[in-house]
Amino acid sequence: MSATTAVTAESAPRLLGAADVLRAMPMASAVEALRRALRGGLDPESDPPRTVVPVAYGQLLLMPAHQRRYAGVKIATVAPGNPAAGRPRVQGQYLLLDAPTLTPLALLDGGALTTVRTAAVSALAADHLAEPGAGHLVLFGTGPQARGHLDALRSVRPLNRVTVVGRTPGRAAEFIETARRETGLDIGPGVPADVAGADLVACCTTARAPLFDGALLPPRVTVIAVGSHEPDAREVDPATVHRSTVVVESRAAAVREAGDLIPELADGSIGPDSLVPLADLVNGTVPVDGRRPRLFKSVGMAWEDLVVASAVHEAISEGDGK
């Protein structure tokens, strides 16, 4: 919808399923939408905190955000037992609103939106952190986020080799076969120690303990950790944190939710001021030290959902001629 299009009281919100979201928003387009938002002055530090409500079989999440043209809220569920029953671990819906009138514009599949925006934020960070010729990705995980990150990272770097480290050999083999067929890349199984030869490492798991020994990381590597927004869960170890330049979406969100960082923040071995905000990185106001590893710790934030959801809505509206 263009900025000049009026929203009427009779307008019914557009229903956008997973296929609609994925078709309207290729990873490269999502990355650029997020980049434009941060370069346009969006401040992640002003994002409302995520509301997390524990329930018997998981969590209910409420994530509202607003900007000048749009507002929105994601209602998501996290059910750790679902994959064993053949259902997604993360489900939900996103309600996109016209900001001046708060009129509903679209209802989007929350799982697809989360997959796209999480991987796109990681790729945006990697585009500013990773070596230009980064070709070897070590990918931890075999779920939707792992596949999303494979697609997103290859949109910003010339990947030519992917090493997949999965907890379940059967699922890892299936993931590798499908990804190899669909991408044409050299993709094979590996072990945690393979990070020693990586240019990029993506941690896309539900692990609550570190996945690899950070002492093995080469200085050129960029590590992406996205698996948790809980203070008591971590995918990377203290060695990774202390050796790296650490980039976060928001210092305030990291202090609340980034279990990969909170122990070091609590004991004072790193300080909040040492965390580099993603917006500063994208806007070129901080240098990146190429002599040490770079770590991007993402917890997932509501502004990301809003930016990508509004970009999906506009892409589909423009395609419809509205």
Phi first, then psi: give them for residue 16, nearest 5 degrees. -120, 110
Better-predicted residue by pLDDT, 321 or 300 = 300
Compute the average pLDDT of residues 229-241: 93
**What are the sequence ranges of the domains in the chain?**
14-114+303-316, 118-300
Q: Which two tokens stand for residue 8?
A: 């009427």
Element (H, E) at 95: strand 90-98
Which residue's structure tokens are 């890349």? 185
Which residue reads 């998501």 in tokens? 76
User: Would you state the pLDDT for residue 8?
Assistant: 52
How far, in Å, CA of 154 to CA of 134, rounded?
10
* Dihedral of the alpha carbons of 276, 278, 279, 280, in degrees to the nearest 10: 30
Round to whole Å and give the CA distance between 153 and 140.
14
- In the chain, which residue ranges form alpha helices assigned H by DSSP? 18-24, 27-39, 110-129, 144-153, 169-183, 238-243, 251-257, 262-267, 278-282, 302-319
Residue 9 has pLDDT above 60, yes or no: no
3-class SS of residue 130: coil
Q: Would the pTM of this model clear 0.85, i.e. be above it?
A: yes
What is the C-alpha to C-alpha distance for residues 142 and 158, in angstroms, rounded to an integer? 21
pLDDT digits (tens, 9 = 90+) for 20-49: 999 999 999 999 999 999 999 999 999 999
The share of the chain scoring above pLDDT 90, in percent, equals 86
Record the tokens describing residue 107, joined without a space: 């209802």
Among 217, 52, 54, 249, CA closest to 63: 52
Residue 228: what pLDDT?
A: 82
Residues 43-97: pLDDT tens digits? 999 999 999 999 999 999 999 999 999 999 999 999 999 988 989 888 999 999 9
What CATH superfamily classification does 14-114+303-316 receive?
Answer: ornithine cyclodeaminase, domain 1 (3.30.1780.10)
pLDDT above 70: residue 119: yes
For the chain, give the mean pLDDT: 93
Going from the C-alpha of 65 to that of each of 72, 96, 99, 243, 302, the distances in angstroms are 6, 10, 10, 34, 6
- Give yes or no for residue 246 having a pLDDT over 90: yes
Task: Output the pLDDT for position 321.
Answer: 63
Domain 14-114+303-316 matches domain 118-300 at the CATH topology level? no
Q: What is the pLDDT of residue 7?
A: 53
> Which CATH architecture fits 118-300?
3-Layer(aba) Sandwich (3.40)
How many DSSP H helices and E strands does the chain contain?
Answer: 10, 14
Least confident of 8-12, 159-163, 181-185, 275-279: 8-12
